[in-house]
Chains A and B, each alone.
Chain A
Amino acid sequence: MASFKPTKIPVYPKLGEKVTQDTLYWKNYKAPVQIKEFGAITNIDFSPVTPHNFAVTAFTRIHIYGPSSQEPVKTFTRFKDTAYCGRFRSDGQLLVAGCEDSVVRLFDVSGKVALRMFRGHTKAVHVTDFTSDRYQILTGSDDYTCRLWDIPNATDLNVYQEHTDYIRCGVTSKLNRDLFITGSYDHTLKVFDARVDKSVMTMDHGQPVESLLLYPSEGLLVSAGGRYVKVWDLLKGGQPLVSLRNHHKTVTCLALSSNGQRLLSASLDRHVKVYSTTNYKAVHNFDYAASILSLALAPDDQSIVVGMTNSMLSIKHRKSPEESREISGQQRRRPSYRVFVKGKNYIPKQDDYLVSKPVKQYLAKYDKQLKKFNVSKALDCALEKWIRLRNPEVPLAVMKELDRRGTLKNALAGRDEQQLSRLLSFLIGNLVDVRFAPVLVVAAEMILDIYRSILGQSPVIDRQLLRMQELLEREIDYQKELVEVLGMLDTMFASSLPKMEVPCSSVSRSNGLSQGEASTSRPQPQVT
């Protein structure tokens, strides 16, 4: 005697994005911590030394946050105007920041008052950085110049006047104390060498350059400007390597994940994209609430900090391994292990007589009803709200099964207004889905047949039927368009394919059939 075979719920291929290793990695962050700042957040910089505090430059202040605190551990407020580009020195002791009032200030991280003030620029300073020997500061300003300053004397060592527009980004080499690169709104990137007092390399980005990033090996340079992110090979004399256009608004910030395998770019279009640095394909995407101005990653990707134009700072911390496990466990409390093994870990002794118990078959609610041939109830069970919404394949499979049994009409008939409207809402939700259409069209036809006589009696039903009609008309138009596009594509393919000569034997030539080209092969999406 065979047992009841439960209704098979087909597994449809998942539409939408595929779950990859990257998705899992970048999804493994906690819910973001949101902090309101005083103005648009223009720069975020992580301290290179533990505990990896980060400096957030927003409006006239620089806040320093600890790795886990939500309150700033330190605040620098001695700016006369909007501060720019607060950056840590490589030992984490000093912090430099530019300002709208053209004065560059150097702070001790533990102090409050500026240690040095560097005056010399005539316009706002948007770029500041320490050189790798720690004793000099690089600044870039809206007066088209960039300068090198000596920290002990607070004097400028050199002025470079090669750019012809605002300098809005710059980066110093971590390996050579004399090299630094600046990017400007004149669309160029310039590599300067302090030893020769002029630029040694110039690259044209094509758009106003917003951000620069050097790879840890310093062989590759990444620049962002306009909608483009470009990668340059410095060792080949600034040859462009790749141009990425994944954003639809200006890219404002770049970051590299700690192992150098992934490149992140933030843009005014509110997205942060993650690229693989091996093939430069976008592998992941974060969405934020507002346009992003600044982005930074903590060492080991422990947190992602994003600053936005609406002065919100969003900090996402990485889940610890225990936490990520805990959360899945917390979703549903299960009986303890002891309950499961109760009586099962008994080892039978030699003389024990084993009484075998038949394994009980557990059936879903709708299967229980199907087993009893209660077709209407089975459909009701399958159309419960949480099933209907969460996995529409279940009601679909039940409908298919009822159709196979020839009792779908019976199951659909004899419903009151509420039940019917529930059925119709399910149909409206899923009718045009390609995977479900073959079954649901049959059901929809049956419903129309059965309930034709009661049309006009209930406003709810009438409205739903009108919606369904509208939906179908739209779908038909859509399909027509698709077929047109397909026809166009076919002609294009046919004309582009070279005519293939089919070798023909004397026998086949005598058959009078024209020698045709090989058919065009068209890969078709398959349902597995």
Chain B
Amino acid sequence: MVEHGDIRVVHRGGSKIDFRQPVITNDSRFLLCTSGDCVKVFSTSTEECIHDLQGHTDLVTGVLLRPSNHLQVYSCSIDGTVRLWDFTDGILIKTYVIGCPIYSIYASANHEGVIFIVVPMLSDKRSELFQLVAVHLPQSGDQLVESRELSAVLSSVSSNPADIAFGRGGEYIASAKGFQLKVFFFKKQKSYEFSLKEDNKKGGLNTFTCVACHPKDDCIATGHADGKIRLWRNFNHKKEYTYSTLHWHHNAVSSLCFTPEGTNLLSGGVESVLVQWRYNQESQRDFLPRLGAAITHIAVSPDGALFCTSHSDNKITIIQSCVKVSAVIQGLVKGENVQTDLIVDPRSKALVLNGKPGHLQFYSLQRDKLFYNLDIVQQEYIHELGLEQFEVVKAAFDASGTWLATVEERKQKSAELEVNLKLWAFDEQTQSFVLNTTISAPHEARITAMCFRQATDSQTTMLVSTSKDGHFKAWQLATPAHTEDEGPSWSCDFVGTYHGLVPECCCFSADSSLLAVSFQEVVTVWSSTSWELLTTLSQPPGAIRDLCFGRLSCSKYLLGTTTKNLLCCWNLLTCSLEWSTSMDISLLLADPLSENMAAFCCQAGCTDLFVFKPSEPRPLFSHKAVCSGTVTRAVFAPREKMLDSCEENGQWLNRSQLHFLTQYMDLMTFTTKAEDDRLMASSKQLVIDDSVAMTPFYLLLGKHRHQQQQNEDPVSSLSAERTALPQSSVAIKELLQTPAHVLPSTSFLCSMFVQSLLISVTDPRENNKKAEEEVESEKEEEDSEEEMESGIVRPDQAAVSVQAAESAAPTPTLTKAQVRELRRLKKLDHSWLAGLLDS
């Protein structure tokens, strides 16, 4: 492992899992969903992510169980490929190259070897017209298959996957777009079209939003933008079709789904209520209310026992037979914008930002998992169009993480701004934050900034908030004055103004003795103990945008950026400008654990990053074009374990890691090469641990693996232990890594395995030659063996060395004959697999 100092910008978790309909496997154990460029496999019982099916190079737009093999799954992507996966082991089986972006995928048991995909009408990517095409998947043993013969089924369909559905075992396909429903019968090769009027008398909007077909009956359910559900029957006639209307939703129906037996119809919409309609007894409805956020997709497991709903807040809920929520898979919630800054909780090291409406989310960066949502507003969430909600706009932690301050506000038309400042204390027992004080209307106008004093031992905790009303206020934890009060609460300690100007940012110095508040162009420095105005600093023109005190050895510096593209550094000992430079800095932030400062600088539509120390003239690190657009939210997250990178430009990442949000709400971070490698290694280990159960067999294998890893470890000496490695494990490993369903029966393997434990008596020399021949013929399949070697050794040599090692090994090994036998079996396997594919 050679350390390269190159630092890359990478996506760090938090991709959308509610983009497309999730899929529950036949045995209801796994749930598959699209997540950015990969497909994630979750366990339905433990909510853990088991595999990432990685391979697509662009956004994955659909997941579908293969109708003919319930252990395999198709996925399609904008990159123009359909991939077939084995999801239990996370192996890519085949890649079909289609050649144009795919927006959704459908298949039916009736149409074997054919999948239906939605592609743009024209090859132009920007085209707004889409068509449904059937693709015959060619059967071949190759990994990469080109299949570009597309036959159009329906033209001008919607790209939304919910708008197309197969009916009654694939006899027909229904597609809705705009005000038109098309049904195409495969046998007759005929399509019928039904259209609705644009809107009815009562002002409802008849646009189709989703389609579902009854699995047993000739019935199509369609959802509409005005919340109605229509059940279409008799649609194989042009004129005599009928439909009945169900109406409960008050807003657009976003998803419809029949249960596998067709007894129930599930519908969901923005109300976040899952409605279950009895088929043929539509007056009976069951509700599962308050699922958290708008329902975007509904899926039912093939046995009908589990439902799952995707929600617009990046969440998948697994529901047991419409009664009980059994599991919640929650990703990073991303709104349109993060109004609270990115913050790191000092206690749990979780990233904290806006989550669901009125909540703060605590998101673990290490595990890419949402810890929990903290309900800030504590009000029943009512969705209605045009209704203003309370939004959490500011949040701040104190240094030890015992206090959290939040600001929520609601702006109504024709009414005053409602602002609440809430202070939360960390409760050790429940391990979460408990509301301590609510201050309604802390300021008369919007709060612009808020920060805690980094409390040293002797001082009490203090919060400073600045507001558009021209005041800044200091809040202090007051001890209870009366006997009846339960505990201390917060109250206002000081109100400060400066010439009636509006304060924009505030910042405490590292030793918390000074408070800097910027009033437009002027920075005022106050003593935090006596509330005296100590000095004013100014560097016109341009109002101050960001303020930052230096840390540690640079704590005498105060840095500020102005709207007129100036970065200024003041020395507080001399109260004079130390240096300034002209840069359009959109965000300036200080690393709490080192002297480093990071500045995101916007230039020509791209953002550059500079990392520097206030005391040094040259930047430590600079990265051109980090991403497109401006970066306005970023945070230094402290590392759990310090890196010991000695590279000069990577040192700033040793103590903490820089995360930032791009304009498109992607969470990015900077990593070094060394870190990447470590991450890879750990993830591999994780998979092994996950997939193998603790059996005696595992113990045997586990030992081998352990040794293997020791070998791979660069620190330990290479040759000494390599010779001791029993080579029989290769065969066993091969045997174990092939999926169970493609292996011969266990009884067949068992006898061979037992034999392998016996000491061989055959002549090794003879076997060697035979083995060598085989090795040459199976170069492709030697991958696993090569990995164990140093990688540069050519296969022939490798085999020789293997043989040598084997002969030297005193432990019971497989005889060469048996190895060969196994290999032969493996070959057999593949042909068998191919046969399966053909069928």
Interface string of A28-57 (1 = CB under 8 A from B): 000000000000000000000000000000
B538 contacts A511, C-beta separation under 8 Å: yes
Interface string of A273-312 (1 = CB under 8 A from B): 0000000000000000000000000000000000000000
- Contacts A405-B384, A506-B576, A513-B536 given; indicate if A528 touches B437 (C-beta within 8 A): yes
Tell me whether A343 is interfacial, beta carbon within 8 Å.
Answer: no
Interface residue ranges of A492-528 to B (CB < 8 Å) = 500, 502-508, 511, 513, 515-516, 518-519, 521-524, 526-528
Interface residue ranges of B375-391 to A (CB < 8 Å) = 375, 378-380, 382, 384, 386-387, 390
Chain B residues contacting A8 (CB-CB under 8 Å) are 378-379
Interface string of B482-520 (1 = CB under 8 A from A): 111000011110111111000000000000000000000
* Residue of A7, A511, A523, A528 contacting most chain B CB atoms (<10 Å): A528
- Contacts A406-B384, A507-B538, A508-B575 given; indicate if A519 touches B497 (C-beta within 8 A): yes
Interface string of A1-23 (1 = CB under 8 A from B): 11111011010000000111100
A526 contacts B492, C-beta separation under 8 Å: yes
Report how far A4 CA is from B375 CA in the complex, Å.
13
- Nearest to A24 among chain B residues (CB) is B483
Tell me whether A442 is interfacial, beta carbon within 8 Å.
Answer: yes
Tell me whether B532 is interfacial, beta carbon within 8 Å.
Answer: yes
- Pick the contact of A1 from B291, B378, B415 — CB < 8 Å? B291
B440 contacts A10, C-beta separation under 8 Å: yes
Chain B residues contacting A515 (CB-CB under 8 Å) are 536
Tell me whether B724 is interfacial, beta carbon within 8 Å.
Answer: no
B382 contacts A3, C-beta separation under 8 Å: no
* Residue of B380, B382, B489, B577 contacting most chain A CB atoms (<10 Å): B380
Report how far A518 CA is from B526 CA in the complex, Å.
10
B292 contacts A505, C-beta separation under 8 Å: no
A503 contacts B534, C-beta separation under 8 Å: yes
Chain B residues contacting A522 (CB-CB under 8 Å) are 495
Tell me whether B7 is interfacial, beta carbon within 8 Å.
Answer: no
- Pick the contact of A19 from B387, B484, B533, B577 — CB < 8 Å? B484
Tell me whether A370 is interfacial, beta carbon within 8 Å.
Answer: yes
A528 contacts B489, C-beta separation under 8 Å: yes
Chain A residues contacting B292 (CB-CB under 8 Å) are 1-2
Chain B residues contacting A506 (CB-CB under 8 Å) are 576
Tell me whether B289 is interfacial, beta carbon within 8 Å.
Answer: yes
A1 contacts B380, C-beta separation under 8 Å: no
Report how far A4 CA is from B536 CA in the complex, Å.
51
Chain A residues contacting B375 (CB-CB under 8 Å) are 5
Report how far A24 CA is from B531 CA in the complex, Å.
38
A358 to chain B, nearest CB (A): 9
- Nearest to A506 among chain B residues (CB) is B576
Tell me whether B694 is interfacial, beta carbon within 8 Å.
Answer: no
A487 to chain B, nearest CB (A): 16
B773 to chain A, nearest CB (A): 64
Report how far A518 CA is from B437 CA in the complex, Å.
30
Chain B residues contacting A404 (CB-CB under 8 Å) are 379, 382, 387, 390, 410
Report how far A401 CA is from B390 CA in the complex, Å.
12
A1 contacts B288, C-beta separation under 8 Å: yes
B438 contacts A528, C-beta separation under 8 Å: yes
A367 to chain B, nearest CB (A): 9
A4 contacts B538, C-beta separation under 8 Å: no
Report how far A301 CA is from B495 CA in the complex, Å.
46
- Pick the contact of B540 from A1, A401, A511 — CB < 8 Å? A511
Tell me whether B679 is interfacial, beta carbon within 8 Å.
Answer: no
Chain B residues contacting A500 (CB-CB under 8 Å) are 532-533
Interface string of B475-486 (1 = CB under 8 A from A): 000000111100
Chain B residues contacting A442 (CB-CB under 8 Å) are 415
Chain B residues contacting A504 (CB-CB under 8 Å) are 535-536, 575
- Pick the contact of A528 from B490, B497, B499 — CB < 8 Å? B490
- Pick the contact of B539 from A21, A507, A527 — CB < 8 Å? A507
Tell me whether B441 is interfacial, beta carbon within 8 Å.
Answer: yes
A19 contacts B438, C-beta separation under 8 Å: no
- Nearest to B291 among chain A residues (CB) is A1
Chain A residues contacting B390 (CB-CB under 8 Å) are 404
Tell me whether B8 is interfacial, beta carbon within 8 Å.
Answer: no
Tell me whether B574 is interfacial, beta carbon within 8 Å.
Answer: yes
A405 contacts B484, C-beta separation under 8 Å: no
B441 contacts A507, C-beta separation under 8 Å: no
Tell me whether B824 is interfacial, beta carbon within 8 Å.
Answer: no
A147 to chain B, nearest CB (A): 51
B516 to chain A, nearest CB (A): 13
B290 contacts A1, C-beta separation under 8 Å: yes
Chain B residues contacting A516 (CB-CB under 8 Å) are 498-499
Interface residue ranges of A370-407 to B (CB < 8 Å) = 370, 401, 404-406
Tell me whether A438 is interfacial, beta carbon within 8 Å.
Answer: yes
A505 contacts B576, C-beta separation under 8 Å: yes
Tell me whether B521 is interfacial, beta carbon within 8 Å.
Answer: yes
A4 contacts B535, C-beta separation under 8 Å: no
A507 to chain B, nearest CB (A): 5
Chain A residues contacting B577 (CB-CB under 8 Å) are 507
- Nearest to B493 among chain A residues (CB) is A523
A507 contacts B537, C-beta separation under 8 Å: yes
Chain A residues contacting B317 (CB-CB under 8 Å) are 1
- Pick the contact of A370 from B324, B380, B495, B538 — CB < 8 Å? B380
A524 to chain B, nearest CB (A): 6
Report how far A124 CA is from B634 CA in the complex, Å.
91
Known A5-B375, A405-B384; further 6 A-B contacts with Cβ < 8 A: A1-B288, A5-B380, A24-B483, A401-B380, A508-B575, A511-B539
